[in-house]
Structure formats: C-alpha cells, structure tokens
Structure 1
Amino acid sequence: MRKRFVVWAAAFTLLLAGCAAGSDGAPQDTGTVTADPVVVRYGISNAWDALMPYNSVSGSNYARIIYDKIYDRLAYVHADGTLSPRAARSWKSVDDGYGIEFALDERFSFHDGTPVTAQNWVETFRLMTDPDCPMLGRDNFSVLAGTDENGYALSEHSVAAEAVDAYTLKLTFKNPTSPEDFLLDKNREFYVLPTHLLEGGVSADLMDLDLWKAPVGSGPCKFVSELAGSQLILEANKEYPLGTPGFDRLVITVMDKSNLLTALISGDLDYYAFGGSVSADDAQVAEQNGLTVLRGTVPNTFFELMLNGASLPDARIRRAVELALDKELLCQHSTNGLGTVTDSSIPPTSPYAGEGSAAGRDVETAKALLEEAGYDGRTYRLACTSNRAGLAALMQQNLADAGISISIETVDSATMFAGMSDGTYDMGIASHTPGPLPLWFVGTRLTENNNIFHVSDLSEYDVYIQRIQMETDPDAKQDLVQALEDYLAQERPFVPLWFGTALHAQSPTVSGIDYASSSFSNENVWEWEKQE
C-alpha cells in the first residue's frame, strides 16, 4: 500500500511570506518602505517544463539551467572538464574503484534552514529509484549497484547509496568508476531534494505535490514566483556557503532566441543563457553596439552526419560518404572560422583525444570504394533543420562529385531524429553538446536501446564499450579508446564533421560570470555581481 506524502505547510509560504513580487521582480507596495532590490534580468529562449528536477519531460538543458539555481549538485563542472566543490567539498575512490565517497560541505542548508545531510541525498536516491515513483530520466540511476538496467531499485533500499555518517555520502557502482568520470557524466542529472519535508514512502502523486509549485532547495537562489512558461522570479540565497550573489532578485524571462542579443544591447536584459552565445555575424553586431565578445577556448558543439546502417549497409559506402565531404569547406560555411574539423566524436581538448588530425577530402578514393561496394546509384534522403539547408546543399554538391545522389528534406529537429530512428531517412545533420569523456557520444548511440544508426550487429561495440567502462588504469584505458576509434574509422556508423567553439556576448552590467561553463548547465551565480 502506498503511503502518502505530508508536506509541511510552512514550506509553501516560507519564501513568499511578506513579499509579493511584480513582473519586474520588484516588491509591490505593502505599506513598508524598502530599498529598491538589485535585479539581474536573465533571458532564456526555451521554458523549463517543471520545477521538480526529476520531472522534466524534455530533460533539456533549459530545465537543468533552472534547477542549477534552486537546487544543489555535488560539484561544479568547468568548461575544460575540471571540477570544483559544490555540495561536496571533496571526493575519493574506494572499494577498488567500485565506490565513491563524497565529503559533504557541512555549511549547506535548505532554504528553510534545515541542514543538508548525507541522509537527504540517500533518501533522494531511494525515492527516485523506487518503481512506484513516477520520475522521468530514471535511467541515469542505472549506473548504481542495486538497480536494474532502467534505474529501478531491485528491492526496497537496494540502491547503493549510503550515509556513512551525517556528512559522508557513499555511492557504489556496477562497474569501476572514477569520481571524475562520474561527475563529468552525471553531475547535472542529480540534485538533492528536501526529503525532510516528505513523510512516508513513495507515492504515485509525488510529482503533483504543491511543494513543487514553490520548491524548497538548497541552491544559490530561492523561489519567489512563477508565471508558467513565461517568467520565473528567484531571490538570492544570502546564506549560500560558496558566496552571496551580488544581486537581490534574478528575473528569468522566456523570449524568442532572435531577440536575446537585441534585448541585451538595448539594456532590457543583463545576460542570457547559455553564456550569452552569439553567431559570428551577431558578434559583429554586438561589438558595433559596444559589447565585448569573448571567444571560448573549449568546443561546445559537435556536428555529425548521421547514417542509416540499414540503407547504407556496406562500410565502404559509408566511408565513401565521409571521403566525398569537404569538411573544411562545410565547417567554414557553418562556423565562420570558429570550428575544427574532426574524424572523432572525442573533443580535441579531452585527455582521451588522439593525436592525429582529420583526413582530408579524397573524391577519387570515394569513387573507388563505391565501385568496389557495388553502389547502384540510388538516391539517399538527407534530413536537416531549416537553418542548415545551406549546409545540406553544400553536402549535396560534395557527394554528387563522387557520384552519390541525395535529396534534401527540411524538417524540424524532432521529426529528423524520429525519422532516423524509424528508418525514414538515410542521413541527417545533427549537433550536440560534447563531453570530455570518451564514450559521451558512442556509449549512448550504439546501444540496444538507442541504436539510432541501425547497426546490424552491435556485439563488437558492446565489447569495446564494456572494456573501456571497466578499465581503471589511465594508460590502458587510453589504448582501449584508441582501438575503438580505429574500429569506428573502419566501420564509420556516423561521420564526425567538426567541433565548434562559442562566442559569448559579455554582460555590460554583471561581472563574475563564467560564460563557457554554462555549456554544462551550471552557472556560478554566487559569484555574479550586478554593477549599479
């Protein structure tokens, strides 16, 4: 029998008591004379879809960047893949690499003043892995011992999360896992919940609790009010251990992406997610209007040409597609010099990146491979979003030079990925936010549950992936990664194209922003300072 949750009434009114907010984040007149609050006006082009961090339908970065401010994660991930303490002040590997112990920062507390302890983290993990809990994104927990392949606990309290003492959290994994690899891969997925405000076991009604309409977290900002899908008003958590934000209110407003830079230039915004990114053309506009544009040093976008292994079953044809493409020309067209061509999904800044450079275009070899494979001249269907139609047209010309015929279909992103998944399309142009780990891409797209490239036999990939996951010696792991890269180059289930580097329009009114690290869906708002 499911138990009911009891939510303390105080939690709903704690952050709103005595403070009604207007649409600009300024308090309404309640008869008390107060100084005008220091407000940071923050723009975002897509709305969050929930304020409960384990109830996001999209699981998108637009939701994660919101959760990052209200709730806490174990660490802060920098753009270069290094880590800084956040809720955990340190971590270490235990149990021959199968476990990680996190020493939690004892200064952290929830917004109602209750200390955050290891038990809160354990209870969060138990709630989210209980089969009765209707959470989304549960498969993120499947790396933990005591769960099945979908992240469900095998039995009551079986998930391997343990409070060693009040401020030491221990996680145990199915495979050897270094703290760095775990945090780089999963840090943005895990948040500590105010489990002290919940009494009893798991309920099917968990996600519908009124608590999530006025959430209580432990992050650098406290909830004030929400206009669903439009605006979110937060206030600075003056007791945040990592630092006091240099503002009183953070007003987050959803607006069309094309209007973000205009609003920043006009002064209607102080900053926009993610990292104030701009295109090369918009960077010129920003600079002409007095803004400073910062070029990132770490790749934040990975471009690939998805291939359908069922309709292109011969590896020679897939390799011919790659050789026929002028990656340098395509990259220049898309990035205006802000990209680096690649033959790998591993970013060049990753410690696992190889030393070789991407192979150049070779149309004659592509033709020879096509003839050897018996290519019959069929026309392949290439899907892309409307903003990449020009890029697709260049690809069409490149491939035609080698004798490969394609037709272009312009669709929205969801339709393209659905069409690649069900086999409607033969090729698709896609981009992703890269991670520094060697399997960030391959390990999620060449699996039985997500075989988007329609590889007929995944067994060889399974062996490589499992061996890399199990290896703890850095040199041996590097050798295994290179062996997988060599196999990918031979089979070429997808075509790596290039890595792009972001340009950031810097805020003219807020200092201390870590622009590049926003690509990991975390922002150092406790170090932001609004200039008066």
Structure 2
Amino acid sequence: MSVLPPRKLSLGVPAVAALLALSACGGGDSPSGESPEPGSGGAGDISLAVQAAPNSLDPAQLNDGQQRYIWGSVYDTLLYPGEDGALQPNAAESWEYSEDARTLTLDLRDGMTFSDGDPVTAEAVKTTLERTRTTVGPQQGNLAAVESIDTPDEDTVVLNLSSPDPNLLGSLAQGAGVIGDPDTIDSPDTALDPVGSGAYVLDQDATVAGSSYVLERRDDHWNADAYPFETVTVRVIADRTAAVNALLAGEVDAGGVDAAQAKQAEAAGLGVTVVEGQGVGGLVLADRGGQVAPELADVRVRQAINLALDRQGFVDAILQGLGTPTTQIFNPASQAYVEALDEEYPHDPERARELLAEAGYADGFTLELPANLIVQNFQPSITQALEDVGITVEWQPVTMQTNVQTTDWAGYFNIGSVAPPARTAALYYAPGGSHNPFGYQDPELDALLEEAANTVDPDEAAEIYQEINEFGVDNALFAPIFALSQGWALAPGVTFEGTANSPQDIRSFGAE
C-alpha cells in the first residue's frame, strides 16, 4: 500500500467551513518578546499556533490531536506513528507479542534521560502506565486491557493483558504511551511544568499557560536530529482568521489553510503543500437495526442512500478539489484501504429508487438527522441528493456540544480524522464503539474483529482490516462522501514532511 505523499497546490480554491480544518497554525513571540524570524529553519526557530490550549500536561490527562505539538515535544512516546501507517520504534527500541496476544514485551532504548538528567528506566515506564490506567482521564480507556505490568530488568517492560487489544500498540504511540518522571509525576506542578524525556523542555519564564508555550531543544536528546528547530513557540489563537492573517503578514512560519486561503498564501509568496487523506467525511448510518428509523434496517435502503450521493460533485462544488470521493471509512492512506471499493457506489439515482421500491419504500420515507456546524456546508447538497430518490431529510438543529453519537439519532454527518486501522475498526464497527451507538453486530463481522484482535503480525492484521472494510462497504453501514485534504502554507525555508498518517508533531516540520 502506497502512502499518499504531500503535493504542491498550484491553484487557489474557495473556502470550506473552518471546522473542516484539522489544525490551524499562527504566530508567536520569542522568549525575548521579539517575533522570531519566519522561515529561519535550521538552528533557528519555528512558530506555530493552535486553536485550543492543552487541558493539562499531566501524562494521565493528555488529549491527542493538536495538543501533541506541545506534549509530544516534552515527552517521548514508547512508539511512533510512521508516515506509511506502520508503527516505528521510539523510546521502545523493539516490541513483541506472545502467540496468544496477551503479553506485550517492550525493550527500551539505552541511554535515554529525563530533562533533569535522571535515567529513563523500565520502572519509570511502569509508574507512568500504571498511573494512567488507574486515573480517570482521556487516556485511561486506552490502557483498559492492561491487567498488570512487570519490569524484569531496567530496560524491559512487560504488559500483561486481560484480553487481546488491537488498539494497544497504536495507543502507545499516542498520549497513553508517554513516559513521565516518577519523582515528579504526582506533583501538581506536572500539569504546567512537566519533567519528561522528550526533545524539548518548556521554558517557564517565556511561557504563559493557555496562551503561549515556548519550547527549547535538548541537544542531549537521543533523537535530537529529528528536530531541526532550537526553539519552538506554540501560541493559542482560537480565531482561525486571525491565525491565517498572522501567517499572511509574515509573522509566523507555518499554518493550516483551507481551500480559500491557499490562493492568498500563494499570492503572498508562501509555499502551499497539500496532504491528501487527512480525514473522511460522510454519513454514519448508525441505526442498522431499525430502532429509530425502521427503514435503515434494510441493507437495500442503506445502499440506495450511497447510490444517491454524487461524491465527485461534493468534492468539486464544496471542497473545490481539496479532497477525493470515497465510499469507505478507512482513509486512502490507511493499510485497510481498498482502492476498488471506491467504485462500489457510483452516482445512480435511478438504481437507488429501484432499491427503495424493492425494499417497500417506493413512495419514499422521512429521515431525521441532527444539524450542527459540522454539517452546515454539506446540508443542502445532502438534502437534495436524498430528495431526488424519494428520501426526505428533516434536519433538527443541535449545538456543537450535543452528542449526536447516541440512540437518539438514526444517523449523523461526521468528519473522522486519521487513525490506525485497529482504532478505526474499534470506533466504527465494535459493539462499544462511539460510532456504533446502537451496538450493531453481525456474526461475520464479529468473527473478523476477533480474528484481527488475536493477530499479532501487522501484515496479516492489515488484510483482516481490509476484509472488515469490505464488509462495511458491501453492507452499506456508512455513506462516506469524501476523503479530506489539508493545506499547509509555509514560509521560505520551512517544509512540511508529514503524510496523512503523521501525528500532529514537530517532527513533521523541516528546514531547508
């Protein structure tokens, strides 16, 4: 499977709602109070901005996503998400599952130290993981399968699982896999001034919590060469327009741009790189048992909905080219992606009407869906597409704070970000997954999920997740519409080297 590489954008395109942007970047001040020189690269600085401050820098309270730009600089994770979707060694130099997938052994890299000079040991890893799995917080559930942890020597950590967990390795490459200093981890100061083994330390004198975070590189870090910037400034700029204006004014080095802003960035002399497959948008047809909408219990109805959607039209008219049509939940850079599946549901309203008639709905039916800001730009087109085949959509306004992933709604529009196949399967297919609120199960699907959970070979697991993907498309469990692309505007001398699989991490940026 080939990874979709970044590509250069050579034309400007109209705007998509700011909510579609997976990240935003902007300007920041240097420790001296003077703005760092944009594009200095190399031994210089880089300044980024995010739309929200970290809720905490306590290992047990970390959120994945944008906040990783900060905590991912302060902490090492045990593993690291590779650009091709495969996990790479990081603080753990190697790892191995037992044959029954209930024991995971991690061998730590030699010579790692915390920012205070203390060595990173297996006991430090155990202390952090034990604390995270027993502390209520965003990462606790990711370690739910861990029953106990052994440290047979200073460099070896053994996780004993209550049952196989295909999500565990991916979680150890995210917030659940950081390593905190056992001497300070329980201190209240850890939330704002942590001691980690990462490539940077937080400059407390220059940092204003919730507003601006200044990170200074540790030249003694084992992987310092992967971080070309001596100083990283991350500022919180909630207003996306303000962040982009700072970028266009030359006050920042890199920034996320939507379709409209790409043209402005190019006109201002900035380079624009587009990373394809950053997320998948479409309808989650959650009520496959027909509890709220009896019509959705018939696979022919769900297939009709898929056939009613002109996916290329959505990409052309709304995304204006900043995306690709798709019929599958797994994004194009995923190891579970099957290219041929995107041909399964061509735009065919006539066939959609035939399927509805076969299912007993020749006169159509009404479907209630929640309407929040995420779906706003797509709402009219979805309404028209389904109305053309006889399905009337009644949109019920809800706030962004409303959880639409409940049994109150037969389905909903969602834009999902990139995740490893195991994580995507757990969220969308497993009975307890957040995008499976009705707990849909099928014997064939259950067998595939169990097989994937018990498979420790990555290549074999990828093949099983492709089968899961095929099951989802064949049974029209979802109605995906597009794989979203993300634009980055970059000052001269700064490059973006990540792919759709890359985490939001300083390592994705480079210097020419």
Give the TM-score normalised by structure 1: 0.78
Q: CA deviation at 1:97?
A: 4.7
Which whole-Å CA distance do the structure 1 matches of 2:420 and 2:230 have between them? 35
Change (3 A) 1:93 1:303: same
- Indicate if the aligned counterparts of 1:453 and 1:493 stay in contact, CA closer than 8 A: no
Deviates more, 1:355-364 or 1:240-249: 240-249
Which of residues 151, 156, 160 is equivalent to 1:163?
Answer: 151
- Larger mean CA deviation between 249-258 and 187-196 belongs to 249-258
Counterpart Cα distance in 2 of 1:292 and 1:211? 38
The answer to whether the 8 A contact 1:323-1:366 is kept is yes
State the distance in 1 between where 2:440 and 2:46 align: 52
Q: Deviation at 1:345?
A: 1.7
Structure 2 equivalent of residue 108 of structure 1: 112
Deviation larger for 116-125 or 496-505:
496-505
Over the matched positions of the two proteins, sequence identity in percent amounts to 24
Whether the 8 Å CA contact 2:373–2:400 is kept in 1: the answer is no
Mark the CA change 1:328 to 1:303 in structure 2 (over 3 Å): closer, same or farther: same
Contact 1:121 1:193 in 2 (8 A): yes
CA distance in 2, matches of 1:475, 1:87: 23
Equivalent of residue 218 in structure 1, options 183, 194, 197:
197
Amino acid at match of 2:233: V
Moved more, 185-194 or 97-106: 97-106
Q: Which has the larger radius of gyration?
A: 1
Quote how far apart the aligned CAs of 1:142 are: 1.8
Specify which of 249, 268, 275 is matched with residue 289 of structure 1. 268
Structure 1: state its 5+ residue gaps: 1-21, 29-36, 147-158, 199-205
Match status 1:41 vs 2:47: yes
Q: 1:463 to 1:455 in 2, by over 3 A?
A: farther
1:381 corresponding residue in structure 2: 368
Matched, 1:371 2:357: yes
1:268 paired with 2:251, answer yes
Could you tell me whether the CA contact under 8 Å between 1:455 and 1:493 is conserved in 2? no
Structure holding more helix per residue? 1
- Equivalent in 395, 404, 412 of residue 419 of structure 1: 404
Q: What's the CA shift string for 1:342-397, capped at 9, x where partnerless?
A: 22222333333324133201212211222232336443233344364332111111
Aligned equivalent of 2:316: 332
Contact 2:329 2:478 in 1 (8 A): no
Q: How far apart, CA to CA, are the structure 2 residues paired with 1:253 and 1:24?
A: 11
Deviations 1:258-307 (A, max 9, x none): 22232122122123xxxx332232111111110111232x5211112122
Bigger drift between 119-128 and 223-232 goes to 223-232
| CA deviation string 1:44-66 (max 9, x = no partner) | 1222111213224xx34122332
Which residue of structure 2 aligns with residue 152 of structure 1? Answer: none
Q: Structure 1 pair 403/427, CA: closer, same or farther in 2 (3 Å)?
A: same
Instruction: Name the CA distance, whole Å, in 2 between partners of 1:44 and 1:503.
Output: 15
Q: Which one of 401, 425, 429 corresponds to residue 388 of structure 2? A: 401
Where 1:90 maps in the other structure, the secondary structure is: strand
Aligned-partner Cα distance in 1 for 2:460–2:219? 47
CA distance in 2, matches of 1:482, 1:238: 42
- 1:349–1:42: structure 2 CA closer, same or farther, 3 Å change rule? closer
Runs of 4 or more above 6 Å deviation: none
Aligned to 1:242: 223
CA contact (8 A) 2:133 2:141 kept: no
C-alpha RMSD of the superposition = 3.1
Q: Does 1:444 align with 2:422?
A: no
Distance 1:83 1:128, change over 3 A: closer
Q: Give the whole-Å Cα distance in 2 for the aligned partners of 1:39 and 1:523.
A: 12
Give the Cα–Cα distance (whole angstroms) in 2 for the partners of residues 349 and 477 of structure 1: 16
Q: Is 1:307–2:261 an aligned residue pair?
A: no
Amino acid across the alignment from 2:367:
Y
Contact 2:386 2:392 in 1 (8 A): yes
Give the match for residue 181 of structure 2: 194
C-alpha distance in 1 between matches for 2:410 and 2:203: 48
CA distance in 1, matches of 2:505, 2:388: 44
Pair 1:521-2:504 in alignment: yes
Contiguous gaps of at least 5 residues in structure 2: 1-27, 35-42
Matched-pair contact (CA < 8 Å) for 2:143–2:168: no
Among 21, 27, 31, the residue aligned to 1:25: 31
Offset of 1:217 from its aligned partner? 1.0
Cα distance per residue 1:68-87 (max 9 Å; x no partner)? 01111023323321444322
Tell me if the contact between 1:367 and 1:403 (Cα under 8 Å) persists in the aligned partners: yes
Letter aligned with residue 259 of structure 2:
A
CA distance in 1, matches of 2:168, 2:432: 21
Question: Counterpart in 1 of 2:450?
Answer: 466
In structure 1, the partner of 2:141 is 139
Matched, 1:68 2:72: yes
Structure 1 CA distance for aligned equivalents of residues 56 and 427 of structure 2: 25
Contact 1:233–1:252 (8 Å) recurs in 2: yes
User: 1:257–1:94: structure 2 CA closer, same or farther, 3 Å change rule?
Assistant: same
Q: Is 1:318 aligned with 2:293?
A: no
Cα separation, partners in 2 of 1:387 and 1:422, compared to 1, 3 Å: closer
Task: Tell me what 1:354 maps to.
Answer: 338
**Following the alignment from structure 2 to structure 1, what is the Cα–Cα distance between the partners of residues 57 and 83?**
25
How many Å separate the matches in 2 of 1:448 and 1:246?
Answer: 44
Does the CA contact (< 8 Å) of 1:97 and 1:176 recur in 2? yes
Conserved? CA contact 1:517–1:523, under 8 Å? no
| Aligned AA (1:365) | R
Deviation at 1:112, TM superposition (A): 0.6
Shift of residue 177, structure 1, vs aligned partner: 6.8
Q: 1:108 to 1:518 in 2, by over 3 A?
A: farther
Q: Report deviation, 1:252.
A: 1.4
- Note the alpha carbon deviations across 1:415-461, whole angstroms, 9 max, x for none: 2xx134141x4432211112342x43232234443464444642534
64-73 or 491-500, which deviates more: 491-500
In structure 2, distance between residues paired with 1:463 and 1:470: 11
Task: Classify 1:82/1:334 alpha carbon distance in 2 versus 1 (closer, same or farther; 3 Å).
Answer: farther
**What corresponds to 1:496 in structure 2?**
480
Deviations 1:184-221 (A, max 9, x none): 454113111101336xxxxxxx5x72333321111111
Alpha-carbon shift at residue 95 of structure 1 (Å):
4.9
